[in-house]
Amino acid sequence: MTDGVTVSVPARLHLGFLDLNGGLGRRFGSIGLAINQLGTRITIAPARQMQVDGPEQERARAALETMRRVLALGGAYRLSVDETVPAHAGLGSGTQIALAVAAGIRRLHDLPLDVTGDAVCLGRGGRSGIGIGLFESGGLVVDGGRGADDAPAPVICRLPVPESWGVLAVLDPSRRGLHGADEAAAFAALAPFPAETSGRLCRLVLMKALPCLAERDLAGFSAAIAQVQNLLGDYYAPAQGGSRFTSPGVAAALELLAREGALGIGQSSWGPTGFAFAPSGAEAERLATVVRKHPLCRGLDIRVCAALNRGADIRVRAAGAQAQRA
């Protein structure tokens, strides 16, 4: 067994669902993007007694106990959550923590990774498979939706994203997006999703967003994502106080960004985090500065990011040696 393992997992933006109708036998289907600057990092090492520290430690402890049971491990561990994104902010924090702990304990015992299998054991990927796919590869991932069984949605597309593009993440620390029982209740209360709208979403993703991304056409890609977001935002609005956005502050910031020329504006999952694209990191910095100065946007956390075209970074520290990437 190694001396310790550190696992770093990028945060993700949920850019939209493809099919909330489910008439073809699969429901949801998601498109997601891994970003830098935000993410989760855990460190796990053998110990004489169990110790879990850091933010979101209860989530981390639950994942650790599940993996000990699944792998039939009897030892004790020191688990530190060194960094994490805000919970229930639309950035995939729960999946990141769970899969990071699973990967860390497997590497600690020189066991092969089983990201999809561990996700099932840990109760992740119930609606979207993008968190699993992005853990493995980064970039942009599309999953094919949940079928009749309990398996996570299969990843059907992975594409690299130009890291020269700027990505703005607009966080509202004062709010949380719908999750758990409230999320399930919100979906149940919404009107049936029209099959025609599902068809439109699938066409936008397959025939515009993905080809434009393959051709490094930011304008075309962003226009498709914006249309996807508008269709879904209108559908979610009854569960979000009549708005396309969970947070009024984020809505104001995104409106300002649109006026300033930002592209592909939307909300990640149930929010409150919003996002937008820019043709360069420098332009994203300019846009962020404008938003930070606006009085309606006080209290928001504006991050300038880029796409991250790799998955989780797993570093193994052998006894008496420096950490090496697994």
pLDDT in tens, 72-89: 998 899 999 999 999 899
Chain position carrying tokens 């979207």:
128
pLDDT confidence of residue 319:
62
pLDDT confidence of residue 247:
95
pLDDT confidence of residue 187:
83
Which tokens is 291 given? 């938003």
Q: Which residue has the higher pLDDT, 181 or 313?
A: 313
User: Is the whole model's pTM more than 0.85, yes or no?
Assistant: yes
Q: Which residue has the higher pLDDT, 126 or 189?
A: 189
pLDDT confidence of residue 69:
96
pLDDT band at residue 289 using 50, 70 and 90 as cut-offs: very high
- Average pLDDT (266-274) is 95
The rounded distance, in Å, linking the Cα atoms of 126 and 58 is 20
pLDDT band at residue 178 using 50, 70 and 90 as cut-offs: confident
7-29: pLDDT as tens digits: 999 999 999 999 999 999 999 99
User: What is the residue-averaged pLDDT of the chain?
Assistant: 93
- Residue 141 pairs in a beta bridge with 32, 158
88 CB contacts (<8 Å, ≥6 apart)? 176, 177, 178, 179
- Average pLDDT (191-201) is 96
Between vectors from CA 121 to CA 116 and to CA 95, what angle results, nearest 5°?
65
pLDDT confidence of residue 225:
98
Q: Is the per-residue pLDDT at 323 higher than 60?
A: no
pLDDT confidence of residue 179:
75
What domains can you pick out in the chain, each with its CATH number?
1-161+307-326 (3.30.230.10), 164-306 (3.30.70.890)
